[in-house]
Chain A
Amino acid sequence: MITELEMGKGESELELGLGLSLGGGTAAKIGKSGGGGAWGERGRLLTAKDFPSVGSKRAADSASHAGSSPPRSSQVVGWPPIGSHRMNSLVNNQATKSAREEEEAGKKKVKDDEPKDVTKKVNGKVQVGFIKVNMDGVAIGRKVDLNAHSSYENLAQTLEDMFFRTNPGTVGLTSQFTKPLRLLDGSSEFVLTYEDKEGDWMLVGDVPWRMFINSVKRLRVMKTSEANGLAARNQEPNERQRKQPV
């Protein structure tokens, strides 16, 4: 049985479950998908029906997805084949455009602290696109497209997929599920941290999502043992110490 995602939960209750991020970035669209597509659902065993045909030979079977959009090409690594420079420019444009559309529609998107000066964002340069992510113990850095995500949960899910899946390039039924990372609630071996525009390293999750994507320069999945000295949750800004990345 599919239970509905409880929309009332704030970002403080983010948790990672076993669910694959199939429609990554659709948290905001759950309302639109009608009865079927609670893609943000966690803790439910996914069946073959849930997997889009990316990587397999079946043609997209949109009928079974009850009104949700067919598997999106942006879910596959390196697809569509657009150069990263161009891709970054595209996502900047889309972000600016949607910011402008929101302003025109006059609605407030989320309840958390919206920066007061919305016009700045409309005309401002939204320079977010792919940012680098490194994980302690992993030699290769990756890049993640922040504009393809709408919340910390999405982002954490993607990072989990990126660093813990056996075959990161494709979605497949045989992928191993490893222990969920629980990057955001402090209960796992790793925490998610980021470097902001001023060069400070902070724990991810403290500020509203919008503010976060405007100030993040890069991400690091850090061992919890090394993260002492970083701003703990709910600390006042003037109590935060600077931490040099190791």
Chain B
Amino acid sequence: MNYFPDEVIEHVFDFVVSHRDRNSISLVCKSWHKIERLSRKEVFIGNCYAINPERLIGRFPCLKSLTLKGKPHFADFNLVPHEWGGFVLPWIEALARSRVGLEELRLKRMVVTDESLELLSRSFANFKSLVLVSCEGFTTDGLASIAANCRQLRELDLQENEIDDHRGQWLNCFPDSCTTLISLNFACLKGETNVAALERLVARSPNLKSLKLNRAVPLDALARLMSCAPQLVDLGVGSYENEPDPESFAKLMTAIEKCMSLRSLSGFLEVAPLCLPAFYPICQNLISLNLSYAAEIQGNHLIKLIQLCKRLQRLWILDSIGDKGLAVVAATCKELQELRVFPSDVHGEEDNNAAVTEVGLVAISAGCPKLHSILYFCKQMTNAALIAVAKNCPNFIRFRLCILEPHKPDHITSQSLDEGFGAIVQACKGLRRLSVSGLLTDQVFLYIGMYAEQLEMLSIAFAGDTDKGMLYVLNGCKKMRKLEIRDSPFGNAALLADVGRYETMRSLWMSSCEVTLGGCKRLAQNSPRLNVEIINENENNRMEQNEEDEREKVDKLYLYRTVVGTRKDAPPYVRIL
């Protein structure tokens, strides 16, 4: 029973923005459910196969913004074959058919085609924002449709997608009347860019706040662009060539000095370090700096730059910064909240003594009291360091440590790293995301199950001894939503211990583990609300076997909860039990 008219309740609901809170509201009573669903503007779907477009539109007919995620996380590392799924076209078709007033579409790890982009661009008159992260399947022709047809476009944000660059003139396709752009990011495009068209576009976009260029935009063009857009807040530098002439450099400096609103800097895809000083004047204003693609900036140049960035909250960097560089970060960036250190030498060809170690990690934890998110790739670690980090930084929400060599123990004591990670989960009571690595036994999972009460996402690779490890986690971490495991000795006993558990989670991924076909079949048998997918890549093997061997180990298992049953678009090598 409501004490207020619906309109009032709806108005109150307008202040509730987070989708989790809105989900909770909708469970209170039928009346609230109805009011909520008719007023919901933004919908987030973490797994596009958990629901279908028809049911989405049926429940939320007034939606304006849709976020969809497709492939599982390990697809980022080439563990999911290309044609697995995650197609966006059916969604766009359904939304267009139902005349939903779509204004914003955000996709992650989905397959997007030029056809879908074309349909998108023609179907929604008020479409304003397209964000594509780690997607694939489209070309610059699709971008041209978006540019040409979306009259209200404010945001086109392409992050780390695989786009076939036809070297066309997609930038030319923005009509002269398009002046509404706020954000344009095409850093991931590999081909040539029509710089003149870009300059004209930037010149007629007074609201442009975020601009991220690709490799093809050279230094002198950058200077002109920045002169046109001194209001920029977020800039991605593309190509920053070798040894600019003094005149170009001077022009760049002048342009940069005017950009007093600049808070975020990224890119530097090809850099001559001597150009960096042009940016010194604005470093003191920066809160975000992403140099993780800038392999050419090293040593002193980097340190000089960072020493000026006293307000930095987010830093993404390569491990060539070294422990010394991290010490500088620790001394300078007292506001730092998020740090990501990526490896610069993946093939391990160089004996890189300058790369980061546990020393750098401890320094950061000691110097940056506000640190809550870290992703750290390194070659070695110790329990002592992790224990120190836990003591210094009990506020971690995300802790992802990747020791490059699988099974590597504490390099001083040669013991497993169970105690180190144990200290982290015990101290960091708010930990929501954890990735573990190095030599680990079942013990670390005992700790995780015992202490990581808020943990929602856990990534495990080359760890554990027996099924007990996985069981500790499943039994202990009540808030677990996404569990992904590879190359660890967990089998059917762990998988089948509590089948109902998986309906409380978004998904489970297990690859190169000990689960068998028989185990997966048993799991799928009484679980109509779970899709249990077996991905078996070696087709040659499959075709030779006439009878199935239930004892055969499953290469890749991906299971997820769903209310719409088996999907129809799976390729032949994906078997849904």
Contacts and interface: CB of A to CB of B under 8 A. Distances in A.
Interface string B287-307: 000001101100000000000
B537 A82 contact: no
A79 B269 CA distance: 23
A192 B292 CA distance: 36
Contact of B162 (A58, A70, A85, A90): A85
A71 B405 contact: yes
B570 to A, nearest CB: 12
Interface stretch (A12-20, A38-46, A140-148, A180-188): A140-148
Contacts of B256: none
Contacts of B407: 53-54, 56-60
Among the interface residues A54, A79, A165, A167, which one has the most CB atoms of the partner chain B within 10 A? A79
Interface of B: 74, 76-79, 81-83, 134, 160-162, 188, 190, 215, 242, 269, 292-293, 295-296, 342-349, 351, 377, 402, 404-409, 414, 435, 439, 459, 461-462, 465, 486-487, 511-512, 537-541, 553, 555, 571-573
18 contacts: A72-B348, A72-B405, A73-B346, A73-B348, A77-B79, A78-B77, A79-B461, A80-B346, A84-B76, A86-B160, A90-B344, A137-B540, A139-B572, A139-B573, A140-B82, A140-B83, A142-B81, A167-B553
Contact of A85 (B160, B215, B348, B349): B160
The A contact surface, by secondary structure, is loop
Contacts of B188: 85
A167 B512 contact: yes
Interface of A: 25, 53-60, 69-74, 76-87, 89-91, 93-94, 97, 123, 125, 127, 130, 137-143, 147-148, 163-170
A84 to B, nearest CB: 6
A25 B347 contact: yes
A86 B293 contact: yes
A140 B81 contact: yes
Given A90-B344, A140-B537, A78 B134 contact: no
A93 B342 CA distance: 14
B408 to A, nearest CB: 7
A207 B541 CA distance: 34
A84 B77 contact: yes
A70 B405 contact: yes
B295 A93 contact: yes
Contacts of A80: 343, 346, 377, 402, 404
Nearest to A71: B405
Given A86-B160, A140-B81, A147-B347, 8 more contacts: A59-B408, A60-B408, A73-B348, A74-B347, A76-B406, A82-B346, A148-B347, A166-B538
Contact of A89 (B269, B405, B461): B269
A82 B295 CA distance: 15
A69 B351 CA distance: 9
B457 to A, nearest CB: 13
